[in-house]
Amino acid sequence: MQANIPDPQQRKPIRRIVIAGGGTAGWMVAAGLSKSLGRRLDIRLIESDDIGTVGVGEATIPTLMNFHSLLEINEQEFMAATAATFKLGISFENWRAPGQDYIHSFGLTGTDHWMAGFQHFWHKGRERALAGDYGDYCLELKAAQAQRFAHLPRNGMNYAYHLDASRYAKFLRTFAESFGVTRIEAKIDQVQTDPASGDITALRLDSGTLVEGDLFIDCTGFRALLIGGAMQVAYADWSEWLLCDSAIAVQTESTGPALPYTRSIAREAGWQWRIPLQHRVGNGIVYSSRHTDEAQARAGLLANIDGAALTEPRLIRFTPGQRHQTWKGNCVAIGLASGFLEPIESTSIHLIQRGIIRLLQMFPSDGIHQSDVDEYNRQTSAEVEHIRDFIILHYHVTNRRDTPFWRACAEMAVPPSLRHRIALFRDSGRVFRTPNELFAENSWIQVMLGQGIMPAQHHQAADLMGDAELLAFLEGIRSAVNKTVLQLPSHQQYVERFCGVPKR
């Protein structure tokens, strides 16, 4: 690996950036680099209108607001341009067992003590018949159930967005071009490399034109033309834990008010999504081809949609996993080219922006250093593995045994890192978060409780409260949440007022 990095005397400054591929990933990269370093860089993006994008990553998580803040994007303009709605969490329906639902919200639940999290006080309250559902103490969850939303003072409501991915790419294209990014309409015919170093030197287009560069960003999606093709970086296949390998997507007309949450509905061999936008609803089914076929999955999806279909159902095949390296030589893979984790927790766009921010933090202005490459890859692998474990949790911890798919999920051996988290929470109610990990303690708690794990005990700090004091503590939180929710307008009304797209 060291041979690919030139000696300091031979390193050349990085000035010419070539982004291979557009779509959400390509234009997010272009927007991030041009806004932050555009004055120092020549940035060109190559894409072809003849090559489609996956374009179904339409549910996001709150970290997207950090990216927009860095770019100084106006929220109302962005939401109007992408027909976006607000998202307070994800409703998991039938995952624990048929007929049992829960919401993984973006909010905090209750109030923690320095010795122990709120779940320990709630746990004692349940034992003493003093507490309601765990979600009763979370503002975002209760607002989602009530279909209400508003911006609150001091960022008092945690939220994300549902957005039209195709419109988002167009919005970011306009943004990036305003900062000097050049778009080249073409297909890539060949990736040329240096025989000595193995680095990419140029991309040959279908027109015969050579586009040379110093740093190449692979946003070519599942094809991974640069990182997988030219750089020959192998792929770690995680199908042993993540059984789903296919998806079918279809768009439908809206039939009612937009919900402020994503719906994830467990099916016989996978799950179905519903993502409400202002002008339509995004639908799809994620499934295991080992446990059902395309025709059955398609029929099951179309039998469970509301509203007329606006598009033909589109099949997407994928292998869950991650490249062994997402940065090799002078090539960085971002988006689907770097790996894929199914959209159950809406992490695809988050991983794109994390790749961009990490690249900006380690940008090789004076030439590529192997130490930066190694650290980039180490951080990326750790982050994706944490998300992988969180996704596996949803499938593995379940009471469902009604189909071969769910039995396989429940019986499979999970990674040791996840096995430890489950055992820790089951035994003691404790959770932990490693540095830079995406999902906070409350996310793990909501999903583990929702999937059916009840801790065997609680921290003794909760025993310092008598029944009267504990009841007053719990009721104070619950009543404050309910009072705030009742003051919120409906989500549909708020969206129409804040960023409504004119009806056609």
From the CB of residue 283, how many other CB atoms can be counted at a distance below 10 Å? 25
- Per 3-state DSSP, the chain is made up of helix, strand and coil in percentages (nearest 5) of 40, 20, 40
Question: Distance (Å, rounded) from C-alpha 180 to C-alpha 363?
Answer: 19
Q: Is 87 a catalytic residue?
A: yes
Question: Distance (Å, rounded) from C-alpha 304 to C-alpha 95?
Answer: 17
406 by Cβ neighbours in 10 Å (0-12 / 13-18 / 19+) ranks as: buried
Q: Specify the long-range contacts of residues 373-382, CB closer than 8 Å, at least 24 apart.
A: 373/5, 373/325, 373/327, 373/328, 376/326, 376/327, 376/332, 377/325, 377/326, 377/327, 379/436, 380/322, 380/326, 380/327, 380/338, 380/354, 380/355, 381/322, 382/434, 382/436
Cβ atoms 46, 184 nearer than 8 A: yes
Looking at residue 309, the DSSP 8-state letter turns out to be B
From the CB of residue 8, how many other CB atoms can be counted at a distance below 10 Å? 9
From the CB of residue 290, how many other CB atoms can be counted at a distance below 10 Å? 15
Place of tokens 């192998």: 234
- Which residues are CB-contacts of 81 (< 8 A; sequence separation ≥ 6)? 167, 168, 170, 171
Nearest alpha-carbon partner for 424 in 414, 432, 436: 432
Place of tokens 């988050």: 350
Among 35, 87, 142, 328, the one annotated catalytic: 87
Q: Return the structure tokens found at 122.
A: 């709630």
Question: Distance (Å, rounded) from C-alpha 281 to C-alpha 299?
Answer: 18
The alpha carbon of 16 is separated from its chain's Cα centroid by a whole number of angstroms, namely 29
435 by Cβ neighbours in 10 Å (0-12 / 13-18 / 19+) ranks as: exposed
From the CB of residue 287, how many other CB atoms can be counted at a distance below 10 Å? 28
- The helix or strand, by DSSP H or E, that contains position 68, with its residue range, turns out to be helix 64-71
Looking at residue 235, the DSSP 8-state letter turns out to be E
Q: Return the structure tokens found at 84.
A: 């976006």
Strands (E), 122-164: 160-162
Question: Distance (Å, rounded) from C-alpha 237 to C-alpha 347?
Answer: 18
Catalytic residues: 87
